[in-house]
Structure 1
Amino acid sequence: MRFTEVTGAGGVRLAVREAGDPARPTIAFVHGWAQSGEVWAHQLRDLAADFHLLAVDLRGHGRSAVPADGYGDTRVWADDLAAVLALAGGPATVVGWSYGGLVITDYLRHHGCAALSGIVLVGALTEIGRGRPGGATGPVMRAALPDVLSEDADVAVPAVLALTRGMTAGPAPDVQARVAATLAVPPAVRRALFTRDVGSGDVLADTRVPVVVAHGTEDAVVAPAAAEYALGKIPGASARWFPGVGHLPFAERADAFTRTVAALAGGRKE
């Protein structure tokens, strides 16, 4: 694996983990709220022999720059992802976890499907805001808010720890690393990502590439109802349910999830 950089909307520097041969089909991974491209470690290792892999650190996260604004603008997120996809040699499969699904939806709103060969939404939001069904949250996420957004470490740290432990149906892997990744994102950025109000039903209905909606049946962060909403809106979308799994199918059932992604990106059935 190697790191490269691209220039996103407004000239913001975005760090991208890259693996595999650029001549092979590209899979681009988009992480969730207050994490980084590191969450895709299993996939970056196990898919590198057959695919060209890209895993961005979103603006304000990981090794990417931390601009003061832009977090509430759908066009900014769309253009950031477009800059990453420009590294692909052709149409790419894009995989979005949690908030990463919302970023993909932003991209579709402004750029359409021409540069995409497929989409995997995993534990994903496709909308955000009060009453938006594509953004339905579970009890662990609801309990964590608003404390995980606090400037006060005495408030934020225990809330982030509880959220991290609640992400999985069983014992949570890499708890300290995930907590550290969240707390490394400035509180102002963590808050800004929650200030949006975006509906996406029309965008999902216009999606014209193969889509897999992958979701853990025990996800208590993004409710399975959010997956059902996407499945009901996206023409021809297929469901990949992970029984007994929480919010991290790519870590809780890494091998099975990786096969799901490889099947879509390789144009074959799992």
Structure 2
Amino acid sequence: MKSILNRRNAALSGAPSRILAVAHDAATQRAAASVAASRIPQSAPEATVAPPETPGEVESRAEPAAGAAVPPEGAGGPRPVSTLHPVPVMPAHLNGRPVQIADGAAFEALHAADELMTFRVYRCFAYTVSLFFHPPTLGYFVALHHESVLWRALKANDLDAAGSAFHLMQEQATRLADGETRRVQLVAQNAELTRQIEESEAQAERLRVDLQRHAEQEQTVTGRQHQVRKEVAQLEAQRIAAQAQLNKAHRALHQLKVATSEGVPHLHAR
């Protein structure tokens, strides 16, 4: 025991330590080997086997000398080995959120047994995204259905992770339904264009009928006007002839009156 304490005091007083640092690479190992070889006396013909160390010697070797200066990082001496500590590792694919693929058969069994509560539902044409809560396990499920058939299901342990998965599936369903959206829009636009074409054709037909009726009426009126002018000319000729005959009759009547008047005696008034 006394020898152990003496060795410990000698180590604390600045005596050279026999601790060899562990080399990290091949260059450091060669440097450490050269330093160890330089410490061996030249007169020693062969290496001697060191006696087994006592627990005190192991303890004195494990403790650094008090007041010993730590060599700088760029110095040529060996670098100390830092102590390793356990670090918790999170799988990269989870990104800090515990979301995993759910068993489709188990999910459908829970859904068929009415053990899931619906929190959110998003429908876009044939795609449906649902967020369910399973009260017995405090778990959440996010499912994507296509035409009421389960396509994909995810399982999460908290609402935030389930909400993020729900939004991702919602965006995916929206992208998948872009073609359906465009198809419905084009069908509606084509129907509107067809209706406008039919209305335009009907209006054009009505205008053609109106134009044809106008042309027929114009032709009829033109013919009637010609006939009326002809009749007017005839009537005017008849009127002229009748007027001439009437004038002749008036003259004859006047002459008769004159002739009749000549035979009547003149009577003087009293």
State the TM-score, normalizing by the size of structure 1.
0.18
Q: By percentage of residues, which structure has more strand?
A: 1
Q: Which has the larger radius of gyration?
A: 2
Q: TM-score, normalised by structure 2?
A: 0.18
Q: Would you tell me which structure has more helix in proportion to its own residues?
A: 2
Higher RCO (CA 8 Å, separation ≥ 6 residues): 1
